[in-house]
Structure 1
Amino acid sequence: MNTNSTIRARRIADDIDALAGITEPDRPYTRRAFTPKFLEGRKWLEQAMRDAGAVTQIDAAGNLIGTIRGAHPDLGTIMLGSHSDTVPDGGRFDGIAGVIAALEVVRALRDQGTVLDHTLEVADFLAEEVSIFGVSCIGSRGMSGSRPPEWLQRVAGELTLEQAIADVGGHPLHSAERDDIKAFLELHIEQGPVLQNEKIDIGVVTAIAGITRIEIIVEGRADHAGTTPMGARKDALTTAAWIALGVEELAKALASGEAHFAATVGEFEMTPNAANVVPARVRMLIDARAERREDMERFVDELDNGVGAIAAKTGVAVSAPRMVSDNLPTPGDADLLDVLDGACQTAGASHRRMASGAGHDTAWMARITKAAMIFVPCVDGRSHAPDELATAEDIALGAAVLLDAVMALDTKLQEDI
């Protein structure tokens, strides 16, 4: 790390430990959005922002915002941030590292006596992870004007999303969309092993992969497992297995290029699911992720053709693949990627460009401003698990890159006007 940096790894470690300690009993690092523990974590984070000199508020979408007013606030806002909510049993660094790194940038600027021309904001976005309402990125969708209006009527028990946003301090019927944000940057753990394996400090994220989910229904016929001849069966499971293997083979072929691609049969339901009955029906849900849209289009086309060929071979009816959801890839802003490359050099951090296979709030912020993100390594690439781990030193180096990027942007954004 640049020896002149005012970033403090110890402060980062202490903050992450403090937030990690706010968790559901007997469930390590569990602080899901809209729960009492989430609100407790938010209260802690709000105080930490104030201690750093920020003025705090909850915006209409339920996002916690800490603001450091710039010397020339009419220039607009540079925003940093991520999310503090977690998945069940595994959210010590995912999101939290980005919020704390952003907070550390604010403290470092204060410690070195630097006042930016632009206003600087730290955002803790509401419900980036899939929430109790079955949807994700609620806060960043709200800030970017991308949250579907009908979502407010989604229900978890007797609670509507509209009421839940109000309960965290938001105003769900008001617009939270912003037009003053000139650039947004997010730090996140990689959630994969590339940086660790290649011994590289920082990943500069070229694009956030588009995510497409596809449902396939296999309709076989239930028969007695002991008396029905093998050649007379219409086994939905064996046909589904052929499809699953085909998905893996096709995904590996697409992943062999330079661009990121992955596909997973992540949901699988079989009926009647009895030991002595030939499986009658299988529902499978494919999660496919592509850095390049043309790769996703090829996957969908070849999947459709492959499923038809398998159905013809086995004699079992298979529905045409049905697209359940389809989000396009989000490229990082080219200017910000260059700024981040330069900031890595200034901070003395080795770096490489890479795509993100996971979704992030940055994808929604890119709809309203220049947006980009960086990755820091996580041990063995583990994430969404209790043993998710990143070192304070790696996060601190990432924060130093953010700090240098913010200072560069404070000047560059004015030159671009």
Structure 2
Amino acid sequence: MTSNLAVNADRIAADIEALADITEPDRPWTRRAFTPMFLKGRAYVEKIFREAGLETHIDAAGNLTGRRKGTVEGKGTIMLGSHSDTVPNGGRFDGIAGVIAGLEVARSLKDAGIALEHDLEIVDFLAEEVSIFGVSCIGSRGMTGVRPPEWLERSTDGVTLADGIRQVGGDPDTVFTRTDIKAFLELHIEQGTVLERENVDIGIVGAITGISRFEILVEGRADHAGTTPMNARYDALGAASIIVLGIEEIARELASGKSYFAGTVGEFSMEPNAANVIPSHVRMLIDARAVDDAVMDEFVASVTALCAQTASERSVTIADPRRVSHAAPTPMSEMVTGVLAESAQRIGATSRPMVSGAGHDAAFLSKVAPAAMIFIASKDGRSHAAEEWSDNDDIALGAAVLYEAVLALDKQ
């Protein structure tokens, strides 16, 4: 099918492979933002942007952009992009596929001699992944004016985030918000199994899930593990285990409904953590994701009731879940998702609506422009791992959907 597309699959494969070669040798595939290896990868991306005839620039937020001027001055910008940084020991496609697919759209338009009325801009956003400074989506937050100013003082090894932004060519002292973007599109690997399992080509992302994290503390009493009778114990870990399994059950039930939900106890610690002492204290951190605030509220109510019941039955103290962070769910533009679905149909690709369970730069671009994403399949759903893989034909097909969508959006 890719032989009939407007994009060039071989160029996409060559660029992704070239970026894969730029990695810390003992940790493939690793190019964490603000490291020398990241800057080396950035230099390659800038080179291929320029070879495609794009005018390159690093904005104040540290994003690398490549611009193809439109024929109508002041008409605005259609933007495509993702990120080239990786997690440690991460994958070759997460973020990278979106940057290269966007570049291939620009190259293919040039090959076809097509001039857009709008400017076309391809972006490699700075530090979409959690960075060495402990925060993520630094570039897209900066581009949309929502990067918290106090973040600039975050530091590691004596280097602040402000220093890091300067090192990549940005200007942390300049605060700005892009107002010229008329539409933003991001291609990304799914990082799940839905498309592969259902044998569907393209996922049309209608919403990016909200993420809340909750802390639960369980207080029991430390006693001798050998001399304390089994019916006279105040075991914090025993109670916590009931809560962990209960959270899993609640999450499964909510996920079986019509709205997306996922819940995970991802962080867990106990004290005193000694073989011959009954545990006295447990701390757990829940990661909960939903696109409907009402479903998140239902989860909180159910977990709160579970904690109260468990505390009573196990004679321990359990505080109500404490929300320690919250990011609201982000709906995508119905106009743009509609254009993407029509574009997929036009080239003969199958598609289905989806929700993104992970955060992406598109969530922040949606604050200043109509935005949407497409997913392409991930083998076995693997991501943030060296085994991450997406077939090049799938990436090329996604790039072709972007190509068609850009042409349609330019006419609108």
Q: Normalised by the shorter chain, which TM-score bucket?
A: over 0.9
5 Å-filtered alignment, 1:319-338, equals 319-338=319-338
Give 1:5 deviation, angstroms: 2.8
Give 1:82 deviation, angstroms: 0.4
> CA RMSD for the aligned pairs?
1.0
5 Å-filtered alignment, 1:170-209, equals 170-209=170-209
**Which letter maps to 1:39?**
L
Distance 1:371 1:227, change over 3 A: same
- Cα deviations by residue, 1:217-251 (Å, 9 ceiling, x for unpaired): 11121111111111111111111111111110110
Separation (CA, whole Å) in 2 of partners of 1:39 and 1:280: 47
**SS of 2:60 mapped into structure 1:** coil
Give 1:172 deviation, angstroms: 0.7
Separation (CA, whole Å) in 2 of partners of 1:34 and 1:274: 40
**Which letter maps to 1:93?**
F
Match of 1:260 in 2: 260
Separation (CA, whole Å) in 2 of partners of 1:14 and 1:8: 10
Give 1:4 deviation, angstroms: 4.9
Range with bigger deviation, 231-240 or 390-399: 231-240
Separation (CA, whole Å) in 2 of partners of 1:341 and 1:216: 42
Match of 1:134 in 2: 134
- Unpaired runs of 5+ residues, structure 1, are 413-417
The answer to whether 1:366 aligns with 2:366 is yes
- Cα deviations by residue, 1:65-121 (Å, 9 ceiling, x for unpaired): 111111113110000000001111112111010001001101110110111100000
Separation (CA, whole Å) in 1 of partners of 2:2 and 2:270: 56
Decide whether the 8 Å contact of 1:29 with 1:91 is kept in 2. Answer: yes
- Unpaired runs of 5+ residues, structure 2, are none
Separation (CA, whole Å) in 1 of partners of 2:124 and 2:253: 38
The answer to whether 1:352 aligns with 2:352 is yes
Separation (CA, whole Å) in 1 of partners of 2:20 and 2:324: 35
Match of 2:63 in 1: 63
Separation (CA, whole Å) in 2 of partners of 1:58 and 1:220: 54
Match of 2:233 in 1: 233
**Which letter maps to 1:239?**
A
Range with bigger deviation, 260-269 or 273-282: 273-282
Match of 2:114 in 1: 114
Separation (CA, whole Å) in 2 of partners of 1:229 and 1:169: 65
Separation (CA, whole Å) in 1 of partners of 2:212 and 2:124: 26
Decide whether the 8 Å contact of 2:91 with 2:389 is kept in 1. Answer: no
Match of 1:293 in 2: 293
**SS of 2:278 mapped into structure 1:** coil
The answer to whether 1:20 aligns with 2:17 is no
Match of 2:274 in 1: 274
Aligned length: 412
- Cα deviations by residue, 1:49-79 (Å, 9 ceiling, x for unpaired): 0001101111111111111111113110000
5 Å-filtered alignment, 1:23-42, equals 23-42=23-42
Decide whether the 8 Å contact of 1:59 with 1:176 is kept in 2. Answer: no
Match of 2:154 in 1: 154
Decide whether the 8 Å contact of 2:2 with 2:9 is kept in 1. Answer: no
Match of 1:84 in 2: 84
**SS of 1:74 mapped into structure 2:** coil
Decide whether the 8 Å contact of 1:85 with 1:127 is kept in 2. Answer: yes
TM-score by length of 1: 0.97
**Which letter maps to 2:216?**
I
Separation (CA, whole Å) in 2 of partners of 1:73 and 1:286: 49
**SS of 2:74 mapped into structure 1:** helix
**Which letter maps to 1:271?**
E
Separation (CA, whole Å) in 2 of partners of 1:305 and 1:326: 21
Separation (CA, whole Å) in 2 of partners of 1:227 and 1:19: 60
Decide whether the 8 Å contact of 1:2 with 1:347 is kept in 2. Answer: no
Give 1:394 deviation, angstroms: 0.2
**Which letter maps to 1:175?**
V
Separation (CA, whole Å) in 2 of partners of 1:198 and 1:304: 36
**SS of 1:45 mapped into structure 2:** helix
**Which letter maps to 2:255?**
A
Decide whether the 8 Å contact of 2:54 with 2:68 is kept in 1. Answer: yes
Give 1:258 deviation, angstroms: 2.2
- Cα deviations by residue, 1:362-400 (Å, 9 ceiling, x for unpaired): 011111110000000010111111100001100000000
The answer to whether 1:220 aligns with 2:220 is yes
Separation (CA, whole Å) in 2 of partners of 1:101 and 1:270: 46
Give 1:158 deviation, angstroms: 0.7
Decide whether the 8 Å contact of 2:2 with 2:396 is kept in 1. Answer: no
Decide whether the 8 Å contact of 1:28 with 1:90 is kept in 2. Answer: yes
Separation (CA, whole Å) in 2 of partners of 1:394 and 1:27: 26
Separation (CA, whole Å) in 2 of partners of 1:88 and 1:35: 12
Separation (CA, whole Å) in 2 of partners of 1:383 and 1:5: 27
Separation (CA, whole Å) in 2 of partners of 1:73 and 1:96: 31
Match of 2:100 in 1: 100
